[in-house]
Amino acid sequence: MKGISWEKRDEHTKRKHNILSEYLKAWIRITASYFPKIFIADGFAGRGEYVNGEPGSPKIIISAACTEIGTKKCEVECFFIEIDNELFNVMEKVVNQNNTQKQKIIANFLKGNFEDKIYEVFDSMTSKEVPCFFFIDPSGFKDIDLEIMKKIGNFKRPEILLNLQTAGILRNLPQQKLKSKIIKVFGETLPVGAKEKDVLKKYEEIIKNKCGFKKVQHYSVSFDYVSTNMYYLIHATNNNTGFKIMK
């Protein structure tokens, strides 16, 4: 995840991470009580933690798993994808240092592009019955692929928490050279004059109608110093309980 400052978290990143942490703890607590195994995948893992010690998503995920798995008879298998070599090495160390339940929690580290490595994750998830949670948090919108979302939707008990950068999408709509990128995300083009609410509504419809998710909702995350939305966290699930917890 290049182009990100790893000195400390921005305020909007803290808000995003708080949503991830609180929901993931509840999801693990519930699913681990009913299933012998669950999967968690972080598609854009980054450094694992910031230079000042604040947690990145891998540290949040492994800490939540260690806290919530407790004495439950459940195995958690995690997948962390990162393309940058330096960030990958730090992230792997951070996760291993914070995994205090190594007998129950398996951490897999995949170095490479999300769009390639996610298919290795799918191949490792040998049972489509197992609950699976995907955190997809790219630094832009161009790495979001509708075909990948469809593959996730094919699992029986999938959950997605995805960063949809509506501000970046709207900014780039007039650029003809990025038309193919928009189609990759939405499966179709969007009108140049589209508004934020149009983009959001269209993507939620696509996640439901083309990817098979029954419940989809969103949370706005604004820029730190102005009240304009920077991006939305899209939560997709087939589970009524998960939908109510996130709501």
- More confident site: 166 or 40: 40
Checking if the pLDDT of 63 tops 70, the result is yes
At 223 the pLDDT is 60
pLDDT band for position 4 (50/70/90)? confident
At 5 the pLDDT is 81
DSSP output for 41-75? EETT-TTSB-TTS-B-HHHHHHHHHHHHHTT-S-E
Checking if the pLDDT of 83 tops 80, the result is yes
Tell me the pLDDT tens digit for each residue of 93-119. 999 999 999 999 999 999 999 999 999
- Average pLDDT of span 13-22: 93
At 87 the pLDDT is 97
At 222 the pLDDT is 72
Cα torsion angle, 34, 237, 120, 44, sign? negative
Picking from 45-49, 80-84, 207-211, 227-231, which range would have the lowest pLDDT averaged per residue?
Answer: 227-231
At 132 the pLDDT is 97
At 66 the pLDDT is 96
Distance from C-alpha of 81 to C-alpha of 117, rounded to nearest angstrom: 7
DSSP output for the chain? -TT---SS--HHHHHHHHHHHHHHHHHHHHHHHH-SEEEEEETT-TTSB-TTS-B-HHHHHHHHHHHHHTT-S-EEEEEEEE--HHHHHHHHHHHHHH---TTTEEEEEEES-HHHHHHHHHHH---TTS-EEEEE--SSSTT--HHHHHHHHTSSSEEEEEEE-HHHHHHHTT-GGGHHHHHHHHSS---TT--HHHHHHHHHHHHHHTT--SEEEEEEEE-SSSSSEEEEEEEEES-HHHHHHH-
Checking if the pLDDT of 40 tops 70, the result is yes
pLDDT band for position 241 (50/70/90)? confident
- Average pLDDT of span 43-72: 96
At 2 the pLDDT is 54
Residue-averaged pLDDT of the chain:
92
- Average pLDDT of span 139-153: 94
What strand order describes the sheet that includes 229-237?
105-111, 75-82, 37-42, 132-136, 158-164, 229-237, 215-222
Distance from C-alpha of 246 to C-alpha of 231, rounded to nearest angstrom: 17
* Six-digit token string for 104: 């129950």
Cα end-to-end distance, the chain, whole Å = 29
Checking if the pLDDT of 191 tops 70, the result is yes
Distance from C-alpha of 129 to C-alpha of 85, rounded to nearest angstrom: 33
Single pTM value for the model: 0.94
At 12 the pLDDT is 85
Question: What are 80's strand-pairing partners?
Answer: 42, 109
Checking if the pLDDT of 177 tops 90, the result is no
At 178 the pLDDT is 87
